[in-house]
Amino acid sequence: MSPLSALLWLIAGGAAFAYWNAARAAAERAGTLGRNACKAAGVIWLDQSVHANGLRLSRGEDGWLGFERSFRFEYSYDGIDRHVGRLVLRKGKLVSFVGPVAPSVTPINPD
């Protein structure tokens, strides 16, 4: 094996490791966000996991290209029904969320 091909293999391995590491960090962040949202809304977080279901290139607020990762998770209000929540992360920041929300009461002002 020539030094050039060894160097190319090393670069490819480093890039693969960086991609894998970023994907794991995003999945852990998505799990934390999903778990916290379910806890705040008072619902049951089912399966204790999130599932990656999308990856695309996206331009961030700083103008640089980066990955936008989509995840889904499931939750239940009573342990019988199942609902799907979705969240999207860009550079580790939450940019979209669809899922359980904390119940709130809006007072009605009779005017």
pLDDT per position as a tens digit, 65-86: 989 999 999 999 988 899 999 9
| Cα torsion angle, 36, 39, 42, 43, sign | positive
The two most distant CA atoms of the chain are separated, in Å, by 83
pTM of the model: 0.81
83, part of any domain: yes
The pLDDT of residue 79: 83
Note down the domain range covering 34: 3-98
Q: Is 109 among the domain residues?
A: no
Residue 103 lies in a domain: no
Domain-embedded: residue 105: no
Q: Is residue 76 part of a domain?
A: yes
Domain tally for the chain?
Answer: 1
Going by pLDDT thresholds of 50, 70 and 90, the confidence category of residue 107 is confident
* Runs of H (alpha helix) within the chain: 3-41
Say if CB 72 and CB 97 are below 8 A apart. Answer: no
Does 89 fall in a domain?
yes
| Rounded distance between C-alpha atoms, residue 63 and residue 58, angstroms | 9
* Domain-embedded: residue 104: no
H-run or E-run covering 96: strand 93-98
Nearest Cα to Cα of residue 38 among 79, 92, 67, 1: 79
- Establish if 94 belongs to a structural domain: yes
